[in-house]
Structures are given as C-alpha cells and as structure tokens.
Amino acid sequence: MRYIVLDTETTGLDPQLGHRVVEIGCVEIHGRQLTGRNFHTYLNPDRDIDPGAEEIHGLSREFLANHPRFEQKVDEFLEFVKGACVIIHNAAFDVRFLDAELQLLGRPAFSTHCNEVFDTLAQARQMHPGKRNSLDALCDRYGISNAHRTLHGALLDSELLAEVWLAMTRGQNTLAIDAPDEATQGLDSLRARRGLGLELPVARASAEELAAHEAYLESLDKAAKSGSSLWRQLSSPAEALEPATELADQA
C-alpha cells in the first residue's frame, strides 16, 4: 500500500465563509519509510488571511500573491495522491477545505481521488483517551523532536506526522533503517515467555517421590473396574503429558 501524509494551511477556519487553502504539503511513505517523494506548494488565495491564521503559519497575503492559484496546481496534486491511503491529522478539517477548493473547479470530492483517508487524530483519541492528542503532544509522547517547529508549515507538519503515524501503528518507531522493529521484539518476548529457544532446568523426582507415586498408582488400580488405571494403560508417563503440553502451547 502506498501512503501519503498530508497537511494544509488555510486563511481561516471555515471554507463556507470563503476561506481558502494557502499551502499543501505531502510526503510519501512506502515500506514504512519516507521515499523522498514530496508534493509541496504555496497557493495564492486571492483574499486576506485572518490574523489568527497568519499568526499560526506566518503566511501573508503579500507573500502568497507571488504563488500559483489552486487551479494551476490541482492536477499535479491529485496525481500525487491518486490511489494512495492519505493520512491526515484531524482529517475532517483538511478534507472540508480540499472539497471546497475542488467544488469551485467543478471537480469531484477529494476522497474520490485517493484510496482512502485515515485520520490520526481519531486513532490517537482511541489509543490515548482523555489526553491531549495534538501533533505537538503526540511528538512529545512518542519522543519525536519538533524543536524546529516554531510555526505551522504544511510540509514540516506532514513530515512530523509521518513519524508519529509510524510510532502509533507500532512498526518501526523512527524513520531510521536500522531501528529495532517492535513486532520482532514482541515475538522475542513471546518466545521467552513460552520458553522457546531457552535451556530450561529439569527437576527430576527423588527415590522417595517415585515410591510415593507408585503407591498412589496402586491405589488407583484397586479402584479401577478394569483392574488397571488409565495411567497404567499408557506406555509411558511422557505420553500422558502430551495432551497437557499441547494445551499449554495453545494458551
């Protein structure tokens, strides 16, 4: 499966009030590693940016006026996400804005251009109920450095979210190739708990314990209608232990 981690920056909070997308950043993940293929663009919204939004991402109308409009980048953008699982933090917000931009051009909704949309905020709330689950909070929780994030930026945030998603999905916790795989560590732990590959001590019965065991079997023989207990009918004690061993392996 091809994964695209996506983030946007906007002029405000509501596309129904005419707010627009001003930045799109996407990074590609394949085989649980960043491929180095990115899509990034600033966009001219042809309108003012709300002061609160500009304070978050630092993009001014003057700066954005020198960049292309959404309709000039839409084909390149949709080609980049085509057929992929798109990972977004608080997907409802970004998808609502992308749908509004596509609607202005008479294009189908964003979800029709990709395989699916996966919301890491919804996943984080399930995994960490009652805790803060912003991107910054998740970076802190999973030990991912975001010290260089002084302002929001679509490409930077998508790169951070890629590392967060890898940690949340319990594969390799960083994008380093030689990082230990938690799945392998979990398998090693399971092997250790079940004694696989370990030299375990064997406690053998003493002469007194064997004599007591024989006396107990004789009492069972006397009680058995056949004159011989089930234990006696087995060829060896090892065979009698096999069913119990099989049940332990399935536990």
Greatest extent of the chain over all pairs of C-alpha atoms, in Å? 101
The three-point CA angle 21-162-114 to 5° equals 55
Distance of alpha carbon 89 from alpha carbon 135, whole angstroms: 8
**Average pLDDT score over residue span 74-99:** 98
pLDDT of amino acid 232: 66
Distance of alpha carbon 37 from alpha carbon 17, whole angstroms: 34
Q: Please pick, among 40, 67, 128, 152, the residue that the annotation labels catalytic.
A: 152
Distance of alpha carbon 154 from alpha carbon 151, whole angstroms: 10
Return the closest-CA partner of residue 98 out of 87, 85, 111: 111
φ/ψ of 35, rounded to 5, equals: -85, -20
pLDDT digits (tens, 9 = 90+) for 193-208: 444 444 556 677 888 8
CATH 3.30.420.10 domain locations along the chain: 3-174
Residue 223 has pLDDT above 90, yes or no: no
Distance of alpha carbon 213 from alpha carbon 205, whole angstroms: 10
Distance of alpha carbon 44 from alpha carbon 23, whole angstroms: 9
Distance of alpha carbon 4 from alpha carbon 117, whole angstroms: 10
Question: How many other C-beta atoms are found inside a 10 Å radius of the C-beta of residue 97?
Answer: 24
pTM of the predicted model, to two decimals? 0.68
Residue 85 has pLDDT above 50, yes or no: yes
pLDDT of amino acid 124: 97
Distance of alpha carbon 50 from alpha carbon 134, whole angstroms: 22
Token pair for 110: 């964003």
Mean pLDDT for the chain overall: 83
The SS3 call for residue 5 is strand
**Average pLDDT score over residue span 142-148:** 85
Question: How many other C-beta atoms are found inside a 10 Å radius of the C-beta of residue 7?
Answer: 25
**Does 89 qualify as catalytic in the annotation?**
no
CATH architecture of 3-174: 2-Layer Sandwich (3.30)
Q: Give, for 47, the enclosing helix (H) or strand (E).
A: none
Q: pLDDT-derived band of residue 23, with 50, 70 and 90 as boundaries?
A: very high
